[in-house]
Amino acid sequence: FSVGEQSSLREFVNRLSSPFVVKADGLAAGKGVVICESSDEAIAASDEMLEKSIFGTAGDRVVIEEFLEGDEVSFFVLTDGENYVPLPPAQDHKRIFDADQGKNTGGMGTYAPAPIVTEHLRARIVKEIVEPTLRGMRKEGSPYKGCLFIGLMITAEGPKVLEYNCRFGDPESQVVLPLIDADLALLFDSIACGLLDSSAVKIHAASAVCVVMASRGYPDAYETGKEIVGLDTPNPDDGVVVFHAGTKRDGSRIVTAGGRVLGVTAIGYEDDLEGTIKTAYNAVGRIVFDGAYYRSDIGKKGLVHARV
């Protein structure tokens, strides 16, 4: 729905049952989704996007959807349009506070592979979603080449598509890319050339956990320019990589320059997600800046579904 279509928007909302999901149709840094308990709330949230432009032009059109109950999974597929390789499924932690409380953010941490996606479920996702999607795009004359990010809700009835993104995810990439056992430049080149050899792409038998360290106040207003110390303490030999997001150089110092500052990522044994979580948090504990905030439960939902 766009500006001027509010009366049909109202009519549509009144035909659905609550709760409702109101989304800015454009890119809104992962924040353009509001869950509304009543039709009044849904109409007010749409007005904020359409009339008050709280997400700028990203909210020039809004999408209203039914609310799906379940666990979210980020499912990535590399494809050259014909051949494809599914990557290890990841789970993001979108809310700012532990136990998925508080406001939506761009993502406060991730882990992969997500054991909620069993072999059986993965086969269903590939057959019922990935293959028809790629086939559909070929049929429409626009075969897709690159990384397709399928946002899924794993509901009681099975996997449902929430959205497609033509890109990798952040902070999902931080845990998915280290699990690919291949030269990424050669891999992406083969995709661009339509020569993806899916049998040649191996996945490490490992787990990865990324804890986002954010600035105090994020996802609302936050201060920047805080010196970050301890960046050299996590050791790649210990399976830890620190990805910089909102940082910048200030002379010889590294200072904060954004809401999500660092993605502290640990890579460990596939059957020891708990150990990989500990390694990530040990590394986080050695990095300090004024107002550093992070969730303390990244990856824990993976322990609930852990493979037996």
- Taking residues 206 to 235 in sequence order and writing x for each that binds ligand GLY by CB under 6 A, - otherwise, the string is ------------------------------
Amino acid at residue number 298: I
Q: Which stretch binds ligand GLY (CB under 6 A): 35-43, 163-171, 220-228, 275-283?
A: 163-171
The radius of gyration computed from the CA coordinates of the chain, to the nearest angstrom, equals 20
Q: In the set 170, 191, 279, 298, which binds ligand GLY (CB under 6 A)? A: 170
Residues 30-49 that bind ligand GLY (CB under 6 A): 30
- Taking residues 171 to 210 in sequence order and writing x for each that binds ligand GLY by CB under 6 A, - otherwise, the string is -x--------------------------------------
Q: In the set 92, 113, 213, 218, which binds ligand GLY (CB under 6 A)? A: 92
Pair 98, 296: CB distance under 8 Å: yes
Nearer to ligand GLY, 53 or 165 (CB): 165
- Taking residues 98 to 127 in sequence order and writing x for each that binds ligand GLY by CB under 6 A, - otherwise, the string is ---------x--------------------
Shortest distance, position 92 Cβ to ligand GLY, whole Å: 4
Nearer to ligand GLY, 28 or 287 (CB): 28
Shortest distance, position 170 Cβ to ligand GLY, whole Å: 5
Q: In the set 113, 169, 178, 259, which binds ligand GLY (CB under 6 A)? A: 169
Residues binding ligand GLY: what is the number (CB under 6 A)? 7
Shortest distance, position 176 Cβ to ligand GLY, whole Å: 11
Q: Which of 40, 39, 96, 31 is nearest to 59 (CA)?
A: 31
Beta bridge partner(s), residue 274: none
- Using left for φ > 0, alpha for ψ between -120 and 50, and beta otherwise, residue 260 falls in beta
- Phi and psi of 123, rounded to 5°? -65, -40
Shortest distance, position 106 Cβ to ligand GLY, whole Å: 6
Nearer to ligand GLY, 172 or 190 (CB): 172
Pair 278, 211: CB distance under 8 Å: no
Q: Please tell me the distance from the alpha carbon of residue 308 to that of residue 306, in angstroms, as a whole number.
A: 6
Q: Which stretch binds ligand GLY (CB under 6 A): 49-57, 169-177, 186-194, 242-250?
A: 169-177
> Which residues make up the interface to ligand GLY (CB under 6 A)?
30, 92, 107, 165, 169-170, 172
